[in-house]
């Protein structure tokens, strides 16, 4: 089909077009053979050279550790070779450490969340990146607050030191678990939570990102129960390397912990607020490990190895004892009795050793190897110490206030009257002119009256007595004795008594009336004194027996008490009251109101007896 203005394209024309196109293509390739051939030549050596250079220049990050002391926080980056680094501050509380030409294993990219330690550093987030076409490692460091810092490089280690924030300078801080114990996802989540401004969202994020391994520390109070007295620590680990746990405990306890390659294993543990020494015991027992402590160094070994070491040491010691030369030595005992100490020394002797106490010189003679003799000297030195002494002072206070009152009357007279048969006379009682004779026993005052006329005489006397006595007797015996030794002090008189013998003849015997203090003190470690006390006070009694022989009033106390050094306690007391009211009079007439006082006398007496015993022990310096 033909169209107006179109070029006629037949088979010959198409063939001609394809021919020129083929020729053009061939000429193009033919004219540029050097370019096509030379292009791969420089590429091949460059690729090989780049690979070789990469092998020589690239290194590996081998570890990222964090250490904490009371004054500073420290990040330690360990590399396989000396690394080129660049430290830059990207915000007010964030630093980035770049290590160019470095690779980092995936297990070290999990990050570290150390908020719970109250240190200057909160988060450490390492990751792999590319800088200028080269591999590099960037470590993102989130700070609690910006503090002074400095960086030091020593061969294959980089030390980044931060000063401690002021608000936590006085808090107890421990190093966090190893970097590999914290998942990277949790660290990144914590960093995102720090960047948010919504406080509610930040709190929720913080709860969601709680670490698998957290460490908290608080000081232990005095008087902690049990044998564990270390600082309290909380630990929460899953499949953690046991060596890292020992490193953590070393930081908390400020002790040096040493272990070998035979100490290994994984530990899953969760402890809250327990002493670090108890946590160490639990970890050792769980993993069949033992420890030997010498000073501030703890050596940890498997229990089987520890047992073998002890057996080998015992065998070596036993072999040495069997061949070592015996030495003879005389050990003097100063304060204790050699005979009393000898049983404890005898138990320490070896099979070849022998000895005996000498009471005359108060010494112990020992023949044994040098080690045993040295140990015996140490034991004797511990036991042979100057005994402590105690002064015991007692005060026996006796009070006898007495009140006496008497009222008496005497009256009488005569009456005479004459009658046809004589004189009629009325008078007083026989031998007296008083019809009523009831005077007071001790007349200290009175009033008399007489009425006389030609046929009658009336004589009247009123007598009265009042006495108020206050008697206070203080006895103060004091004595000094050694610890655990009984002491007695006594003072008094021997009261004679007359007794009849079997033959009927009189015989005089004496009975003691004494002031006695008997005490046995025992000093306790807290400077208290336990005392067995017997206090006694006898005195001549006003009461008499047959033949007017006097009696003995006895007052005593016997007890066991505990008293602080220098303090006073009352070990006993007696309070006695005697009240006497007596009326003497003429029957019937003494009952007449008012007039009855002419026919009676009255006696009243109040007597009080009070006894207190005080004890004051004092440890003599």
Q: Where are the domains of the chain?
A: 59-163, 232-320, 326-386, 405-467, 472-584+596-620
How far is it, in rounded angstroms, from Cα 60 to Cα 382?
60
| 443 within 8 A of 466, measured Cβ to Cβ | no
Identical fold, 59-163 and 232-320? no
pTM for the full predicted model: 0.40
Q: What is the distance between the alpha carbons of residues 491 and 320, in angstroms, rounded to a whole number? A: 64
Strand order in the sheet with 215-218: 215-218, 232-241, 266-275
Whether the CB-CB separation of 109 and 126 falls below 8 Å is answered with yes
Which pLDDT score is estimated for 120? Answer: 83
CA–CA distance, 160 with 143 (Å, rounded to integer): 13
pLDDT of residue 28: 58
pLDDT at 520 (0 to 100): 92
User: What is the Cβ-side half-sphere exposure of residue 496, based on CA atoms within 13 angstroms?
Assistant: 5
Give the count of beta carbons closer than 10 Å to the beta carbon of residue 373.
Answer: 21
Q: Cα dist. 205→62, 119, 202, 210, 230 in Å?
A: 31, 21, 5, 9, 34
Residues contacting residue 204 through CB under 8 Å, at least 6 positions apart: none
Dihedral sign for Cα atoms in the order 488, 489, 494, 495:
negative
First to last CA, the chain: 142
> Which stretches in the chain have pLDDT values below 70?
1-14, 16, 23-57, 70, 116, 166-226, 321, 415-433, 442-455
**Positive or negative CA dihedral for 192, 196, 200, 201?**
negative
CATH number corresponding to 59-163: 2.60.40.3470
Q: What is the pLDDT of residue 199?
A: 41
Based on DSSP, count helices (H) and strands (E) in the chain, helices before strands: 10, 31
Listed residue (394, 384, 564) closest to 480, CA to CA = 394
Strand partners, 518: 488, 534
pLDDT tens digits, residue range 400-415? 888 888 888 777 777 6
The values of phi and psi at residue 122, to 5°, are -105, -45
Picking from 262, 265, 256, 272, the residue whose alpha carbon sits closest to that of residue 286 is: 265
CATH topology assigned to domain 232-320 = Phage tail protein beta-alpha-beta fold (3.55.50)
Residue 67: closest CA among 250, 267, 268: 250
pLDDT of res. 618: 92
Reduced to 3 states (helix: H, G, I; strand: E, B; else coil), residue 590 is: helix
Q: Across-strand partners of 536?
A: 516, 556
The reported pLDDT for the residue numbered 448 is: 63
- What fold is seen in the domain 326-386? Ribosomal Protein S8; Chain: A, domain 1 (3.30.1370)
Tokens found for residue 41? 């030549």
pLDDT (0 to 100) of residue 436: 75
Q: Where are the alpha helices (DSSP H) in 165-302?
A: 184-195, 199-208, 242-253, 276-286
Alpha helices in 490-585 (DSSP H): none
Q: Are 258 and 235 in contact (CB under 8 A)?
A: no
Give the per-residue pLDDT at 50. Answer: 34
């Amino acid at each position: 089909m033909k169209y107006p203005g179109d070029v006629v394209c037949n088979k010959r024309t198409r063939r001609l077009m394809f021919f020129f196109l083929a020729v053009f293509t061939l000429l193009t390739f033919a004219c540029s053979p050097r370019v096509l051939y030379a292009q791969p030549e420089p590429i091949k050596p460059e690729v090989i050279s780049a690979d070789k250079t990469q092998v020589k220049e690239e290194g590996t990050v081998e570890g990222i550790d964090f250490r904490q002391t009371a004054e500073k926080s420290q990040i330690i980056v360990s590399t396989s070779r000396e690394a080129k680094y660049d430290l830059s501050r990207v915000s007010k509380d964030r630093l980035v450490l770049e290590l160019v030409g470095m690779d980092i294993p995936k297990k070290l990219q999990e990050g570290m969340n150390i908020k719970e330690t109250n240190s200057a550093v909160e988060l450490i987030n390492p990751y792999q990146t590319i800088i200028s076409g080269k591999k590099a490692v960037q470590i993102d460091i989130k700070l609690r607050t910006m503090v002074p810092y400095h960086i030091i490089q020593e061969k294959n280690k980089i030390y980044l030191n931060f000063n401690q924030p002021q608000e936590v300078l006085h808090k107890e801080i421990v190093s966090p678990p190893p970097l590999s114990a914290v998942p990277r996802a949790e660290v990144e989540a914590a960093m995102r939570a720090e960047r948010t401004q919504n406080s509610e969202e930040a709190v929720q994020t913080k709860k969601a990102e709680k670490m698998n391994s957290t460490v908290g520390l608080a000081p232990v109070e005095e008087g902690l129960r049990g044998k564990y007295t270390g600082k309290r620590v909380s630990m929460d680990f899953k499949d953690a390397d046991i060596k890292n746990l020992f490193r953590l405990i070393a930081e908390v306890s400020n002790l040096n912990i040493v272990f070998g390659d035979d100490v290994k294993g994984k530990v899953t543990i969760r402890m809250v607020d327990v002493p670090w020494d108890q946590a160490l015991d639990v970890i050792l027992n769980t993993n069949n490990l033992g420890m030997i402590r010498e000073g501030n160094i703890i050596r940890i070994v498997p229990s089987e190895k520890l047992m073998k070491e002890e057996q080998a040491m015992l065998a070596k010691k036993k072999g040495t004892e069997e061949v070592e030369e015996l030495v003879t030595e005389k050990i003097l005992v100063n304060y204790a009795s050699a005979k009393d100490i000898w049983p404890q020394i005898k138990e320490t002797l070896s099979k070849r050793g022998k000895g005996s106490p000498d009471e005359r010189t108060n010494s112990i003679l020992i023949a044994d190897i040098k080690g045993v003799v040295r140990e015996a000297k140490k034991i004797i030195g511990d036991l042979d110490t100057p005994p402590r002494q105690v002064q015991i002072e007692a005060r026996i206070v006796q009070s006898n206030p007495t009140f006496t009152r008497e009222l008496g009357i005497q009256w009488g007279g005569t009456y005479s009257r004459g009658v046809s048969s004589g004189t009629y006379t009325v008078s007083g009682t026989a031998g007296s002119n008083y019809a009523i004779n009831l005077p007071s026993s001790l007349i200290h005052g009175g009033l008399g009256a007489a009425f006389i006329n030609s046929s009658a005489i009336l004589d009247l006397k009123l007598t009265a007595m009042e006495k108020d006595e206050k008697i206070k007797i203080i006895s103060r015996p004091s004595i000094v004795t050694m610890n655990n030794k009984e002491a007695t002090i006594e003072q008094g008189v021997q009261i004679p008594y007359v007794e009849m013998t079997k033959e009927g003849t009189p015989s005089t015997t004496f009975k003691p009336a004494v002031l006695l203090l008997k005490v046995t003190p025992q000093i306790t470690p807290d400077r208290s004194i336990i005392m067995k006390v017997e206090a006694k006070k006898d005195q001549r009694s006003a009461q008499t027996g047959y033949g007017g022989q006097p009696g003995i009033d006895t007052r005593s106390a016997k007890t066991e008490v505990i008293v602080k050094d220098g303090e006073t306690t009352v070990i006993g007391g007696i309070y006695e009251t005697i009240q006497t009211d007596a009326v003497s009079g003429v029957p019937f007439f003494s009952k007449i109101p008012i007039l009855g006082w002419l026919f009676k006398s009255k006696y009243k007496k109040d007597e009080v007896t009070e006894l207190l015993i005080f004890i004051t022990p004092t440890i003599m310096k």
